[in-house]
Amino acid sequence: MRHSDVREEGASAQADGDIPAGGAGAPGTVPPPRGGSRSAGRAGARPAGRGRRRALRWISSVLSLLILGTAAAGYLYYRHLNGSIQTDALNLGENKLGGSKPNAFGQTPLNILLIGSDARDDAENQALGGATDTFDGPPLADVQMLLHLSADRTNMSVISMPRDTMLMMPKCTEPGGKVHPASKGLVQTNESIQRGGPGCTVAAWTELTKIPIDHFMMIDFKGVVRMADAIGGVPVCVEQNVHSRTRDGKGSGLKLPKGTSVIQGETALQWLRTRYGFEDGTDIGRTHAQHQYMNSMAREFRKNAKLSNPVKLNSLAQAAIEAMVVDTGLNKIDKLFDLSMELKKVPPGRITMTTMPWIYSSKPGLDGRVEPKPGEAEDLFRMVREDISLDGQGSGSPSASASPAATGAPASPSAPAQQPSTAPTAAATAAPPAKIAVLVRNSTGSKDGAQSRVNGRASEVAALLTGKGFTKVVADRQTAAEDTSVIRYATDAQAADAAAVATALGLPAGSVQKSDQVAGIVVFVGNDWRTGGSPAAPPPAPTKAPDSAHALNGDNDQACMPIQPGFTW
């Protein structure tokens, strides 16, 4: 069964159709720029009957970061590019989580959502992307990868979400006030960008994973071609001769001989967009090919001496900046430079690429679409939330020295921690319990409606806190639905007090979140705490990514794509 796109809930399917025959040029060549610039405005809803969307699958978001990191201090010369950086709001949803929290050693992880937009809103992207019926139409977020940089900077994890994943979309509000209501049914994840911009894609990930996302980077077609050329090519491998072309003209047009080839330019774009011809012809195989390319590109950046050429660096910087849209927290060259320096600390052997575990959807009308796999997808998300490396090697390295806590050494962003990271309790700076005002809200109903709310739970938990000396506790009459109990607070000054409340209730430090949706400290008693005087202890956290995540290590230079029957030559 093949994957394909859908529009809104229950709408008609879109096809993959990559670069059409006779398209933008011969493999390995890049058409010259044809003018035009990225549109500053957002596209509206796509007209009915617009035609079939051609899907983009590539990962130059990560490549941009690696490029910036490789260039080192030379990038500080490019401050004049600041005015070219395009920005958009980070999170348009209501659940913002407040960003990543430092661990017990004062080290803070980073979570960056990498988005590949298939926008065809300028001449160069249109020449590369084909699909003339979609020119200047609303884009799709056809690549979504969450990059997690560990707090101790020893490892990096990447989780890809298949573009055919069906999710409930959260409410998203644009900065100008336009509201996109929460969906009433499942929506294909790549349509999230049409609900106000990349900030709604971030909101959808936040809602699904409960992972605080610190930044996003969104890249378009032309960035792939320019950067693949600048690096001088990327080695990739196929198990047989492959030609991605169906009898009716679909496919990327990729044509490679068996074994290893060094690809660049449009051939690199074809590789990253190829679906027909890899594995079983689904979007999942395409994701695996992207991971092989990303790892290979990272290795090339590490060893390619050509990037010391200032002319080449300037061209590469210009290409990356012109192709990117970032959140407002990355609106300066020096901010991008600092971020890239953090990413560069991780050796390829500690980079782990994974695909979100998935199952085929059983919902009517969603044949070929997928949903997060119960249990295993959450295990993967939990490992990122708790800063546990996906490769099973833990933090630091086998020869790492003792932790800062043991040696008395000062903590630093790159200092290795010797245990999974947790948020700081900050209890030492909290006010006395009798002076901490707390609101307790009954949120025991499950979000999917499968379980109803337990009456009286807000009052019961408020009484627990009162018995522990918190005399300014009120049971809220409002209700909510939270699958997991959480404590949210409004300002940095309330962080220590909120952590003290969590300690008193026996909730983990990671359940404490900063949020602009509350006015003070609010305990949301979730569906995981329906009875009893203390929440149930969570099961032990996984120590390695599940097999269904199809993990690929960054040092693996032997990966080779299986070829779908019927696509050889």
Higher pLDDT pick, 308 / 560: 560
| CB 555 within 8 Å of CB 348 | yes
Q: Are β-strands 370-372 and 358-360 bridged in parallel, bridged antiparallel, or unpaired?
A: antiparallel
Sequence-ordered alpha helix ranges (H) in 96-150: 123-129
pLDDT at position 361 over 90: yes
Kindly report the length of the chain: 569
Provide the pLDDT for residue 155.
95
Of the candidate ranges 181-190, 254-263, 289-298, 420-429, the one whose mean pLDDT is the lowest: 420-429
Average pLDDT, the chain: 78
How many Å is the Cα radius of gyration of the chain? Answer: 24
566: left (phi over 0), alpha (psi -120 to 50) or beta: left
Buried b (16+ CB within 10 A) or exposed e, 11-28: eebbbbbbbbeebbbebb
A 10 A CB-CB count for 34 gives 11
**Which residues have a Cβ under 8 Å from the Cβ of 536 and sit 6 or more positions away?**
528, 529
pLDDT at position 54 over 90: no
What's the average model confidence in pLDDT over 476-498? 91
Provide the pLDDT for residue 297.
80
The listed range with the strongest mean pLDDT (5-9, 114-118, 300-304) is 114-118
pLDDT at position 323 over 70: yes
Residue 43: band (very low, low, confident or very high) from pLDDT cuts 50, 70, 90: very low
**Which residues have a Cβ under 8 Å from the Cβ of 22 and sit 6 or more positions away?**
none
| Strand partners for 148 | 111, 157
What's the average model confidence in pLDDT over 229-249? 90
Please list the helix, strand and coil fractions of the chain in percent, rounded to the nearest 5, in that order.
30, 20, 50
Residue 358: band (very low, low, confident or very high) from pLDDT cuts 50, 70, 90: very high
The model's pLDDT over 139-156, given as tens digits with 9 standing for 90+, comes to 788 789 999 999 999 999
Transcribe 44-85 into DSSP letters: -PPPTT--PPPPP---HHHHHHHHHHHTGGGGGGGGGGGGG-
The model's pLDDT over 181-201, given as tens digits with 9 standing for 90+, comes to 999 999 999 999 999 999 999
Mapping DSSP to helix (H, G, I), strand (E, B) and coil, where does residue 473 land? strand
Provide the pLDDT for residue 49.
39
Higher pLDDT pick, 452 / 21: 452
C-alpha 421: how far from chain center: 20
Provide the pLDDT for residue 127.
55
pTM for the whole structure: 0.73
| CB 127 within 8 Å of CB 24 | yes
- Tell me the CA distances in angstroms from 222 to 197, 373, 378, one per residue in order: 20, 34, 34
Provide the pLDDT for residue 538.
77
The model's pLDDT over 504-527, given as tens digits with 9 standing for 90+, comes to 999 987 788 888 889 999 999 999
Structure tokens at 414: 């790159």
Provide the pLDDT for residue 135.
46
Residue 304: band (very low, low, confident or very high) from pLDDT cuts 50, 70, 90: low
Provide the pLDDT for residue 206.
94
Q: Measured between alpha carbons, how far is 163 from 16 in angstroms, rounded to an integer?
A: 11
Mapping DSSP to helix (H, G, I), strand (E, B) and coil, where does residue 22 land? coil
Provide the pLDDT for residue 101.
84
